[in-house]
Amino acid sequence: MADPIKAVRGTRDILPPDSALWQHVEQAARDVFQRYDFHEIRTPIFEDTQLFARSVGEETDIVSKEMFTWEDRPRAQSEKAQSLTLRPENTAGVVRAYIEHKLGETGKLQKLYYIGPQFRRERPQKGRFRQFYQIGAEVLGPPSAGSESPARDAEIITMLAQLLREVGIRNWELQLNSVGCADDRARYNQALREALAGVKDKMCADCRRRAETNPLRVLDCKVPEDQRIIESLPKISAYLDEPCREHFNEVRKILNHVGLRYQVNERMVRGLDYYTRTTFEFTHGGLGAQSALLGGGRYDGLSEGLGGPKAPGIGFALGLDRFVLALQSEETVGIPDQSPAIYVAPLGQGMNAEAAVIARDLRKQQIATELGDDTFRAKKSFEAAERSGAKFILFVGENEIASEQFALKNLKSGEQMTVARAEIANKLKS
């Protein structure tokens, strides 16, 4: 026999009952987003490769090493093949959609959220997959709508603390930084380039290359031998201009006032090139090496970089896989019980049709119902009902149908009662 085919490396199946925990996080996120006036956007899972090259940045690990990219077949011989890529993140797609649909012309702040798979060809390990899932949100719009305000940054971060609380994750830490505006970044990059000139030969190959092409990315390096040099490099805070410094101070002032604790981490520049000003990450101790629960920041120049209007924005994406791992490591939230309330067991030949009507009526009345079939004798029905996790079992036989009275048995306590047909749903709800 041929070998069975397995899920591809770095991908996996989310099976019940674990999937209930995923739904719990998704539902909490949708609830919180609604209270903060965010609305759902769904963008395609693949996009033109240039979109990611121009936003996330050619020099980032994501674009230079991790994308799933292929050439699409040209529609006509005269056409060039289009390069397409499975989205490695969703901010670029949202900003593309903002530009394409002229959402800026509404004059309104756009508050958009998304839930869906992302793809990066990273080395799989705990908390790191090649197909992973993000829940993210973005606030962007014309400056006249208040999109540049530090109040937006603080609101997003406050919303995240609320979401973590409602999901049930407690042991998180918030790291905060400001990477300044494009001018600050240019001056800081220059300072890094100069500082690296004398030491880069002692560093890893990636750092040596980046010291020339995009020195900021050197701060992302995880190679242990390079850390001492990186610690000695100039710090971004010394290169922020006055408006950026003030913006960051205001974000911190609001966060202090709402009582959120955070650490300023000047090395946190994040692995994507579009960031400006505020950047942040929430980490969790139970995740191992991949400790980032979520990350985000401001991207005031992204829309213009993609050929759109001025549309400052800020957003985040959380790793759903990692949220579930964090929940499991804290053991404070169990898997929500999704087993049926009742198991309907047809008793004796020819009872399938009657049982189907009863099950249909219960389901209409919002009762989660499992249905057996009449090849099962009473003992086998009990066993099947236990396996399904149902709390009650109801037998449907000729006598019950004729008298409209049914024996309803509580499978946990063993208690049995006789209930009129019209009363079954009420009894279960009580």
Q: Which spans of this chain sit near ligand HAM (rule: CB under 6 A)?
A: 89-91, 120, 122, 127-129, 132, 134, 136, 138, 271-272, 292-297, 315-319, 321-322
Would you list the DSSP string of 374-422? TTS-HHHHHHHHHHHT-SEEEEE-HHHHHHTEEEEEETTT--EEEEEGG
Decide whether 296 or 308 has the Cβ nearer to ligand HAM.
296
Compute the least distance from the CB of residue 105 to ligand HAM, in Å: 22
Compute the least distance from the CB of residue 229 to ligand HAM, in Å: 24
Compute the least distance from the CB of residue 86 to ligand HAM, in Å: 12
Residue 167 three-state SS = helix
Spatial neighbors of 170 by CB under 8 A, at least 6 apart, are 164, 330, 332
Compute the least distance from the CB of residue 139 to ligand HAM, in Å: 9
Decide whether 120 or 247 has the Cβ nearer to ligand HAM.
120
C-alpha–C-alpha distance, residues 89 and 136, integer Å = 9
What is the number of residues in the chain?
Answer: 430
Compute the least distance from the CB of residue 141 to ligand HAM, in Å: 14
How many of the other CB atoms lie within 10 Å of CB of 389? 15
Compute the least distance from the CB of residue 126 to ligand HAM, in Å: 10
C-alpha–C-alpha distance, residues 54 and 193, integer Å = 22
Decide whether 48 or 61 has the Cβ nearer to ligand HAM.
61
Decide whether 176 or 347 has the Cβ nearer to ligand HAM.
176
Pairing assessment for the beta strands 69-71 and 263-264 based on DSSP bridges: unpaired
Decide whether 218 or 293 has the Cβ nearer to ligand HAM.
293
Cis preceding-peptide flag for 124 (omega within 30 of 0)? no
Residue nearest to ligand HAM according to CB distances in the complex:
319
Decide whether 38 or 132 has the Cβ nearer to ligand HAM.
132
Decide whether 178 or 381 has the Cβ nearer to ligand HAM.
178
Compute the least distance from the CB of residue 129 to ligand HAM, in Å: 4
C-alpha–C-alpha distance, residues 380 and 396, integer Å = 14
Among 179, 205, 210, 56, which Cα is nearest to 218's? 210
C-alpha–C-alpha distance, residues 299 and 313, integer Å = 5
